[in-house]
């Protein structure tokens, strides 16, 4: 039973690591779509002008590129930490609980980073500060929320204490 729970935690972290890796790969190989979204969200060009918050917009291309690089860097850091978590948890799969738990530190760091990227970055900054929720065409709120909640669920599960056999 103990091994099955540990394998379950490893597989869930690996699934999120794979997803984050694919997100980063897509952003690096074909950045146009996602960079376009960042440009539209930051420029607030699809937010109703009467909203009263459009003075927050960022239209400087260099700043928009910097924001995109920051987002992709956060996603890449998330993926890296998650893969490290998978590797370290696999190393401790049959070890005493304390050793397996030490391996979870990397996964917990990656899951926390991922939550910050999607919750603070997309939902907080993009959604609330730049009013992405008001846009009918450039609104990533639903996707970001689904991913943030998935990451949070796995974070809670992985953080549960380990038991000895």
Give pLDDT, residue 165.
61
* Cβ atoms of 145 and 121 closer than 8 Å: no
Per residue in 6-53, pLDDT (tens digit) is 999 999 999 999 999 999 999 999 999 899 999 999 999 999 989 999
Q: What are the CA-CA distances from residue 55 to residues 49, 62, 136 (Å)?
A: 9, 18, 19
Quickly list DSSP for 47-108: S-GGGS-GGG----HHHHHHHHHHHHHHHHHHHHHHHHHHHHHHHTTTS-HHHHHHHHHHHH
For 131, phi then psi, to 5°, come to 65, 30
Per residue in 101-158, pLDDT (tens digit) is 999 999 999 999 999 999 999 999 999 999 999 999 999 999 999 999 999 999 999 9
Domain ranges within the chain, ordered by starting residue: 2-159
């Amino acid at each position: 039973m103990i091994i099955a729970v540990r394998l379950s935690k490893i597989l869930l972290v690996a699934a999120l690591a794979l997803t984050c890796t694919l997100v980063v790969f897509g952003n690096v190989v074909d950045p146009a779509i996602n960079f376009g979204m960042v440009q539209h969200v930051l420029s607030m060009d699809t937010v109703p002008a009467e909203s009263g918050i459009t003075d927050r917009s960022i239209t400087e291309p260099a700043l928009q590129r910097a924001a995109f690089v920051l987002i992709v860097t956060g996603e890449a850091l998330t993926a890296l930490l998650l893969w490290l978590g998978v590797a370290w948890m696999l190393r401790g799969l049959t070890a005493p609980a304390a050793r397996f738990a030490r391996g979870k530190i990397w996964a917990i760091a990656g899951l926390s980073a991922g939550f910050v990227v999607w919750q603070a970055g997309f939902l907080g900054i993009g959604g609330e500060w730049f009013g992405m929720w008001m846009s009918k065409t450039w609104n990533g709120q639903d996707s970001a929320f689904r991913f943030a909640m998935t990451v949070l669920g796995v974070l809670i599960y992985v953080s549960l204490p380990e038991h000895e056999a």
